[in-house]
Amino acid sequence: MSEDRIRLEFAVSGDNFASAGTASEEVKSTLKKLGIPSADIRRVAIAMYEGEINMVIHAGGGVATADIYLDRIEIVLADKGKGIPDVELAMTPGWSTAPENIRALGFGAGMGLPNMKKYTDEFSIESEVGVGTTVRMTIFFG
């Protein structure tokens, strides 16, 4: 028997910081309507926004998918960007390859991936240089 599920899918635009956050906002408001605890919604929204921003800064956009089940949300962020040569290094708090113009906007602190890991219950990255990156995150409710 298949589980009850709501699927939300978003194309994340690659060149627009102002519109980044659309996916996380939409997921946030859906979870709110479903009565999910606000502390969990906060974790989901932040992890997803960080992922969106990463796709805008580093990958020229991508696709964000959120599958909401009764007890959890599964988020997949997939891009066809340049990939991450050393994932372990990229996970180091403070490590950043964001250019100066991005830092001027307040991004590029090197805390995006660490935040995503911190706020999720399950977190994984698959990345291949020249092919793209897929981040998978699961957050359990309650």
Query: Where on the chain is the footprint of other proteins (CB under 8 A)?
Result: 17-18, 20-21, 24-25, 28, 38-39, 42, 45-46, 49-50, 105-112, 114-115, 118
Q: Which is nearer to other proteins, 99 or 131 (CB)?
A: 99
Q: Are 132 and 83 in contact (CB under 8 A)?
A: yes
Q: Which is nearer to other proteins, 105 or 129 (CB)?
A: 105
Other residues' Cβ atoms within 10 Å of the Cβ of residue 141 = 20
Distance (Å) of CA 98 to CA 12, 67, 126, 127: 18, 29, 20, 18
Q: Which is nearer to other proteins, 11 or 129 (CB)?
A: 11
Q: Which is nearer to other proteins, 80 or 102 (CB)?
A: 102
CB of 43: closest distance to other proteins in angstroms?
10
Which amino acid is located at 66 in the chain? Answer: A
CA dihedral 30, 142, 78, 16 (to 10 degrees): 50
CB of 20: closest distance to other proteins in angstroms?
7
CB of 1: closest distance to other proteins in angstroms?
35
Other residues' Cβ atoms within 10 Å of the Cβ of residue 43 = 22
Q: Which residue has the tokens 């977190």?
A: 123
CB of 132: closest distance to other proteins in angstroms?
22
